[in-house]
């Protein structure tokens, strides 16, 4: 039995700052050595100044930064998230055009709902790999419709019946979400040998905790035919589990987030107010050294997920530990620091009530006996 395909999966990318190649250079060696590297593109890359209602809008990132994704080894991105539509239909169109020009495949957003739900498919060493991408947290204004640009989504229920948005108390998986997964995964399975489902889900800026819907929706994706599930949105890593022998990464955290949009010292009133309020809501004070990544202190513990597919179809899951250095640049960790991050992943998985896992010296995640 030998490794056929090595897949690297990184979390949220927000590349608002100049010289995106520099910010990605600390993790690029791992991405470049993989056979396939996938990440989540959090914001639109556009010059449009349009701001969509429904959430605190993220500014459009420089369109020229998209070329740095391919240079860093990123082959494919998921797009379905709570900020991809912040710059409206023009922002989505500009982002898709820029990704296509850079040669980066994408899934999860489009000019209408059918295109947003399409899987991105590539062939690596004879293995056809599909990526499906869904927004689970809203805002509903960002969702694509048959005649409206936006992102792909899974309908979930809130505790009080209010519309889905990132600050709502999202509690349950609705039957319509299962119908979407069933249909899309079945189509992808007819086109590919290995299907990855990316979910934008969870509670932001909070260690350990999984919302009530997170495990059920991830398990459902596996039960309906996904070979692996990865998640992002929380801006801090989450635990890992196996369901039916398939790996589920409940939160990849920040792949590379460098932005001034989270600073309280800025001209945009809505973003400045949110930067102050989130500290009160989530009970943390960002380290001032992390001026471009002012997240929870534990967010410095990061990783790139790893899937190894063997020639007989066995999938092994692992991590490449990543340390975030000031002011926000992620770098591959080694030695004692790498072991600390692996121990942290084991700890948060355990504290979240997930089945115990162990991460060996090669940083491969194994189910505990």
Condensed to tens digits (0 to 9), the pLDDT of residues 131-164 reads 999 999 999 999 999 999 999 999 999 999 999 9
232: DSSP letter: E
Check whether 79 has a pLDDT greater than 70.
yes
Condensed to tens digits (0 to 9), the pLDDT of residues 84-137 reads 999 999 999 999 999 999 999 999 999 999 999 999 999 999 999 999 999 999
Give start and end residues of each alpha helix (H) in 173-260.
175-191, 214-223
Check whether 266 has a pLDDT greater than 90.
no
Please give, one letter per residue, the 3-state secondary structure of 62-107.
CHHHHHHHHHCCCCEEECCCCCCCCCHHHHHHHHHHHHHHHCCEEE
**Per-residue pLDDT at 274:** 65
**Per-residue pLDDT at 59:** 81
Q: Is the separation of the CB atoms in 220 and 157 below 8 Å?
A: no
Q: Is the separation of the CB atoms in 157 and 171 below 8 Å?
A: yes
Q: What radius of gyration do the chain's Cα atoms show?
A: 19
Confidence of residue 54 (pLDDT cuts 50, 70, 90): low
Confidence of residue 368 (pLDDT cuts 50, 70, 90): low
Q: How far apart are CA 61 and CA 16, in angstroms?
A: 5
Q: How far apart are CA 65 and CA 359, in angstroms?
A: 34
pLDDT mean over 2-19: 92
pLDDT mean over 239-264: 93
Q: Is the separation of the CB atoms in 11 and 253 below 8 Å?
A: yes
pLDDT mean over 39-55: 84
Q: How far apart are CA 19 and CA 17, in angstroms?
A: 7
Least reliable range by pLDDT among 26-30, 259-263, 294-298, 346-350: 259-263
CA angle 161, 179, 85 (to 5 degrees): 65
Q: How far apart are CA 357 and CA 289, in angstroms?
A: 33
Check whether 53 has a pLDDT greater than 80.
no
pLDDT over 90, % of the chain: 84
Find how far residue 125's CA is from the centre of its chain.
Answer: 25
Q: Which fold has domain 3-367?
A: Purple Acid Phosphatase; chain A, domain 2 (3.60.21)
**Residue 45 forms beta bridges with which residues?**
61
Q: Are strands 315-325 and 364-367 parallel, antiparallel or unpaired?
A: antiparallel
Dihedral of CA atoms 113, 115, 118, 122 in degrees, nearest 10, equals -160
Task: Give me the residue spans of the domains in the chain.
Answer: 3-367
Condensed to tens digits (0 to 9), the pLDDT of residues 184-228 reads 999 999 999 999 999 999 999 999 999 999 999 999 999 999 999
Which long-range contacts (C-beta less than 8 Å, at least 24 apart) are formed by 281-284?
281/205, 282/204, 282/205, 282/206, 284/205
pLDDT over 70, % of the chain: 95
Whether omega before 90 lies within 30 degrees of 0, making that bond cis, reads: no
Check whether 269 has a pLDDT greater than 80.
no
Q: How far apart are CA 294 and CA 261, in angstroms?
A: 10
Q: Would you state the structure tokens that stand for residue 236, as one six-digit string? A: 């801090």
CA angle 139, 141, 143 (to 5 degrees): 85
**Per-residue pLDDT at 284:** 84
pLDDT mean over 230-235: 98
**Per-residue pLDDT at 369:** 43
**Residue 318 forms beta bridges with which residues?**
306, 364
Q: How far apart are CA 51 and CA 33, in angstroms?
A: 38
**Per-residue pLDDT at 324:** 98
Mean pLDDT score of the chain = 93
Q: How far apart are CA 177 and CA 168, in angstroms?
A: 18
Whether omega before 327 lies within 30 degrees of 0, making that bond cis, reads: yes
């Amino acid at each position: 039995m030998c490794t056929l395909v090595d897949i690297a999966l990184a979390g949220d990318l927000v590349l608002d700052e100049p010289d995106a190649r520099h910010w990605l250079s600390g993790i690029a060696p791992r991405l470049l050595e993989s056979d396939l590297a996938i990440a989540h593109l959090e914001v639109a890359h556009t010059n449009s100044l349009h701001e969509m209602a429904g959430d605190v809008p993220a500014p459009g990132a420089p369109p020229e930064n998209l070329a740095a994704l391919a240079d860093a080894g990123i082959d494919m991105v998921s797009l379905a998230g709570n900020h991809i539509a912040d710059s409206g239909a023009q922002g989505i169109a500009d982002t898709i055009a820029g990704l296509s020009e850079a040669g980066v495949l994408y899934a999860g957003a489009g000019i209408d709902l059918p295109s947003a739900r399409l899987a991105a498919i590539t062939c690596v060493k004879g293995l056809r790999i599909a990526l499906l991408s869904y927004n689970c947290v809203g805002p509903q204004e960002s969702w694509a419709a048959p005649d409206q640009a936006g992102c792909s989504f899974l309908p979930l229920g809130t505790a009080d019946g209010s519309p889905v948005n990132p600050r709502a108390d999202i509690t349950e998986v609705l039957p319509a979400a299962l119908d979407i997964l069933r249909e899309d995964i079945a189509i992808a399975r007819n086109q590919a040998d290995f299907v990855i489902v990316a979910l934008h889900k969870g509670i932001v800026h909070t260690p350990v905790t999984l919302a009530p819907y997170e495990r059920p929706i991830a398990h459902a994706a596996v039960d309906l035919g996904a070979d692996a599930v990865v998640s992002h949105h929380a801006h801090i890593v989450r635990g890992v589990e196996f369901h039916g022998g398939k790996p589920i990464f409940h939160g990849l955290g920040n792949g590379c987030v460098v932005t001034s949009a989270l600073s309280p010292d800025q001209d945009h009133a809505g973003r400045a107010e949110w930067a102050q309020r989130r500290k009160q809501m989530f009970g943390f004070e960002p380290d001032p050294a992390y001026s471009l990544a002012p997240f929870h202190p534990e967010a410095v513990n990061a990783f790139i997920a790893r899937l190894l597919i063997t020639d007989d179809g066995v999938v092994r899951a692992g991590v490449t530990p990543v340390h975030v250095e000031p002011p926000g640049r992620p770098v591959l960790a080694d030695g004692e620091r790498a072991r600390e991050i692996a121990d942290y992943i084991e700890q948060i998985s355990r504290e979240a009530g997930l089945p115990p896992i162990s991460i060996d010296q090669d940083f491969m995640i194994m189910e505990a006996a």
